[in-house]
Structure 1
Amino acid sequence: MTQVLAMETVSPVDDEKREQVRHTLESQKIEFILAQFVDIHGCPKVKQVPVDCFDDLVDGGAGFAGGAVWGLGQGPHNHDLMARADLDTFVRLPWRPNVAVANCDIFVDNEPWPFCVRTNLRRMVGRFAEAGYTLNGGFEPEHFLVEKTPDGGIRPWDPLGVDTLAKPCYDFRGMCQTMDYLQEIIRCGNQMGLGIYQSDHEDANGQYEINFGWTHALHAGDQLVRFRMMAGQIAPKYGAVATFMAKPFDDKTGSGAHLHFHVADSASGRNLFPLNGDGEDLKGLGLSSTAIHFIGGLLKHIGAITAIASPTINCYRRIQSGEFVYSSASGYTWTPAYASYGDNNRTQLFRCPDPNRFEDRSPSAMVNPYLLLAAHMAAGLDGIRNRIDPGDAIIGENVWNLSHRQRRERGMILLPQNLSEAIAALEADPVVQAGLGPIAQEYIRLKKAEWSEFMRTVTPWEVQRLLTFI
């Protein structure tokens, strides 16, 4: 379909770095390189390249037919996508030690391709840096281990039959039967530079969470993609399927990818969120005006951000308002449906565990991290530049215990309750759209088509409820 490699270059590559990477690949006895990028959904796409073609991959790239990939802005008539390896991202796959993977940026006709989500995030990182800022963060991906049933359904992976508690979070027995899997995940992840510092059994049977260290925005996106690739390959060794589906079970909590983040000074690297005794503590959280206005921007644009943070129809099963719905066996959904910010409690959308960072608790485990980080920078920069006030912080109060009327009276915005509402919010938000570049219109088009297909699908719930209703 396409040529495999192209030899042309756009700009000189750091020769010293190139030789360092080449030496590492040789010393590790790497035979093949996976040239990897993601589509608009965040799904990894690869080509396998012999290590002898290392220079070609760095200078020209591995060729892909863009029309065969979701959301890359191409049809079958367009020129090849060339996935060009980022020298800073080569790493060996611990579970397949003769293979390395490299994150790639997409070029077409030797020019950066604006429909590439990683390329777009690079653009936003540059725009953010021009304003004097760097966005740092780390994701906390939750996922289920499941197994398929003879009737075609799924159930939590539970080989010893011990993961049955109504409140299984942090459970010793549930963790023990999964310890080998989690230890292999941590070992392999840290060999790949993920900086994993803890793991745990989460709130649902069969659900687990991994915590990463801090890094800059581009690397944070790469980390989440690599973790999901790794989990999908290691879980089958233990007879399980790792799923990042947001809400695979009706009666259990969904899976998120919470994002911890702060804004730093682009020149010095200093964290700009803590007040550090400079100025008045306006919101009672020890935060600077930069932090407050950044959160103000996120809250102002939260509807459009939700379209990115919760990208599929299933994601909205985990962010329902709770006015008429059941939560989960443990009694909590753990997912905010209203937009609020405040102190160190998990009923907030934006939780402030410490003045040095915020946690965004809304993103689904299916989020495309490159798009979310770009949207955060666009919305947050709007907040800083226009000094957007997020309103009063919620301190020492359980948001879930407030009535829906009380929440609305306090100005808390109800998050979009389905994909159609979220896409409408994105379509009406020029700031977040600008953060996505031309990807925005492609994303809107694909998500509208997804919603249309869903609305034509008759579900088993409808048949059971309505077949003999009248």
Structure 2
Amino acid sequence: MSGDLAARAAADGVTFLLAVFVDLAGKPCAKLVPVEAADEFESDGVGFAGYAVGAIGQQPSDPDLVAMPDVATYTPLPQVREGLALVHCDPHVDGVPWPYAPRVILKAALERAGDLELHAGAEVEYFLVTRDAEGRLSPADARDTAAQPCYDARGLTRMYDHLTEVSTAMNRLGWGNYANDHEDGNGQFEQNFTFADALTTADRVVTARYLISVLAERRGMTATFMPKPFTDRTGSGMHLHLSLWRDGTALFPGDGGLSPLARAFLAGVLDHACGLQAVIAPTVNSYKRSGATSTRSGATWSPRRATYGGNDRTHLVRVPDANRIELRGADGSANPYLALAATLAAGLDGVARDLDPDAVDGGELAPTLLHAVDALVADPVVSGALDAAGPGVCAYVADRARTEFLDWHGTVGEWEIDRYLTAF
């Protein structure tokens, strides 16, 4: 109903609305809408030059991308700025949901699932870093130098102000933040919140990244969700905890373990793991994380084969209990909307084919982004998930990924200088 945004804003003392959506690469895009224009925003949306947005499938000659607000996502963010609220939007073009918009893609994938509902939890891992005058990265906490810093109480306490500010914000939003910890890499942290329906969780991941980044900047730090910012340290994942529900009933628990439905869903994820990697690990840097052989701590915590197991973090899919499965291949660069859409499609294909995870050999995961893109294009189920709202999206994503890989491949780096400068 028109006027809902204005009424909510007035009740909360909100003076500006941040109209947010992300492009296919996960870049958060926004316009600030004064509350005086809330009714117009709610009814007509707010326009963007789509090509200027980035990876959203438009050319300079295309009509405006119009961000239409999902009023249910209205989120006051006084921790960022007093009087600010965020609203997630669905981009439209000429009055129709834009098929290259990640949130639109996930909504279409969820509709395809019929009466099956995907619930998801997401582990948001990130590093807090600073850069020196030469651009070199280091942990923002100069004392964070231990070889095995994971769960260290002292390192956690030194970042107390940042972590508790983020935690408090999450809880005020009703997300149910239940743990905040120092992760395995120096300068690496994780802040967990309870699971929800897939669309809500994807929205929360986008909001969390924005919130964490802004609050870190205030303290002179950079929060990075880059999968592997340091060669010798553990990378950042975005582990996804997944379950299917119907009419409020969880469908994964079975007699003494996972139900047949859950096992078939798991098998589908394994069967499509290679193509799925291009979506859940979508950058050149992703494969520095998944291809790592060692770190200072002694473990990479990143799977290299499409395997599954019980409460065992070395597998692509961990099964901590009968209520959920944990997909550990997604990393900090993954677009949460696309990751959930593609994983849902893979799992549901396993259900449709009644696959047995013990009979599926997903093989080695892709060693590079280029290999992963080739697997994506060859996989009609995962590529079809990207095209859920309209054709052409997968081809567009694949072309951009290949270009990214070749741009990186064509850049001379320090490794080559060190190895070849005087070798011949």
> TM (normalized to structure 2)?
0.96
- Which residue number corresponds to residue 127 of structure 2? 144
Are residues 1:308 and 2:279 paired? yes
Are residues 1:30 and 2:30 paired? no
Paired residue secondary structure (1:414): coil
Q: Deviations over 1:200-227 (max 9, x none)?
A: 0001110000111010011111010000
- 1:172: Cα distance to partner? 0.9
Letter in 2 for 1:121: L
Are residues 1:252 and 2:236 paired? no
Q: Given that residues 162 and 215 in structure 2 are in contact (C-alpha distance below 8 angstroms), is that contact kept between their aligned partners in structure 1?
A: yes
Structure 2: 5+ residue stretches without partners: none
Are residues 1:430 and 2:409 paired? no
Alignment of 1:318-329 (within 5 A): 318-320=289-291, 325=293, 327-329=294-296
* Structure 2 CA distance for aligned equivalents of residues 269 and 291 of structure 1: 16
* Structure 1 CA distance for aligned equivalents of residues 26 and 328 of structure 2: 19
Quote the sequence identity (%): 41
* Structure 2 CA distance for aligned equivalents of residues 62 and 195 of structure 1: 31
Q: Give the one of 409, 417, 421 matched to 1:463.
A: 417
Are residues 1:84 and 2:68 paired? yes
Are residues 1:133 and 2:116 paired? yes
Are residues 1:207 and 2:157 paired? no
- Which residue number corresponds to residue 290 of structure 1? 261
Are residues 1:439 and 2:420 paired? no
- 1:345: Cα distance to partner? 1.4
Q: Give the one of 369, 374, 390 matched to 2:357.
A: 390
* Structure 2 CA distance for aligned equivalents of residues 70 and 366 of structure 1: 16
* Structure 1 CA distance for aligned equivalents of residues 363 and 199 of structure 2: 29
**Given the superposition, is the C-alpha separation of residues 20 and 111 from structure 1 closer, same or farther in structure 2, using an over 3 Å criterion?**
closer
* Structure 2 CA distance for aligned equivalents of residues 170 and 62 of structure 1: 44
- 1:441: Cα distance to partner? 1.3
* Structure 2 CA distance for aligned equivalents of residues 310 and 224 of structure 1: 16
- Which residue number corresponds to residue 322 of structure 2? 355
Alignment of 1:62-461 (within 5 A): 62-94=46-78, 95-128=80-113, 130=114, 132-159=115-142, 161=143, 163-265=144-246, 268-275=247-254, 277=255, 286-320=257-291, 325=293, 327-391=294-358, 411=361, 413-437=363-387, 438-461=392-415
- 1:20: Cα distance to partner? 4.9
Q: Given that residues 45 and 66 in structure 2 are in contact (C-alpha distance below 8 angstroms), is that contact kept between their aligned partners in structure 1?
A: yes
* Structure 1 CA distance for aligned equivalents of residues 107 and 42 of structure 2: 17
Paired residue secondary structure (2:264): helix
Letter in 1 for 2:75: V
Paired residue secondary structure (1:197): strand
* Structure 2 CA distance for aligned equivalents of residues 310 and 272 of structure 1: 28
* Structure 2 CA distance for aligned equivalents of residues 333 and 117 of structure 1: 29
* Structure 2 CA distance for aligned equivalents of residues 287 and 67 of structure 1: 45
Letter in 1 for 2:274: G
Q: Given that residues 117 and 439 in structure 1 are in contact (C-alpha distance below 8 angstroms), is that contact kept between their aligned partners in structure 2?
A: no
Letter in 2 for 1:370: Y
Paired residue secondary structure (1:35): strand
* Structure 1 CA distance for aligned equivalents of residues 154 and 179 of structure 2: 17
Paired residue secondary structure (1:186): helix
Letter in 2 for 1:317: K
Letter in 2 for 1:108: V
* Structure 2 CA distance for aligned equivalents of residues 194 and 84 of structure 1: 24
- 1:196: Cα distance to partner? 1.5
- 1:189: Cα distance to partner? 2.0
* Structure 2 CA distance for aligned equivalents of residues 422 and 41 of structure 1: 16
* Structure 2 CA distance for aligned equivalents of residues 318 and 456 of structure 1: 21
Q: Deviations over 1:250-269 (max 9, x none)?
A: 1100001111110111xx22
Q: Given that residues 39 and 45 in structure 1 are in contact (C-alpha distance below 8 angstroms), is that contact kept between their aligned partners in structure 2?
A: yes
* Structure 2 CA distance for aligned equivalents of residues 65 and 293 of structure 1: 43
* Structure 1 CA distance for aligned equivalents of residues 362 and 410 of structure 2: 33
> TM (normalized to structure 1)?
0.87
Q: Given that residues 120 and 197 in structure 2 are in contact (C-alpha distance below 8 angstroms), is that contact kept between their aligned partners in structure 1?
A: yes
Letter in 1 for 2:404: E
Between Structure 1 and Structure 2, whose CA radius of gyration is higher?
Answer: 1
- 1:197: Cα distance to partner? 1.1
- 1:171: Cα distance to partner? 0.3
Paired residue secondary structure (1:120): helix
Q: Given that residues 375 and 436 in structure 1 are in contact (C-alpha distance below 8 angstroms), is that contact kept between their aligned partners in structure 2?
A: yes
Letter in 1 for 2:320: P
- 1:371: Cα distance to partner? 0.3
Letter in 2 for 1:244: F
Paired residue secondary structure (1:421): helix
Q: Deviations over 1:278-329 (max 9, x none)?
A: xxx6xxxx11111011011111111111001111101101111x6xx4x111
* Structure 2 CA distance for aligned equivalents of residues 40 and 195 of structure 1: 28
- 1:228: Cα distance to partner? 0.4
Letter in 2 for 1:48: L
**Given the superposition, is the C-alpha separation of residues 384 and 269 from structure 1 closer, same or farther in structure 2, using an over 3 Å criterion?**
same
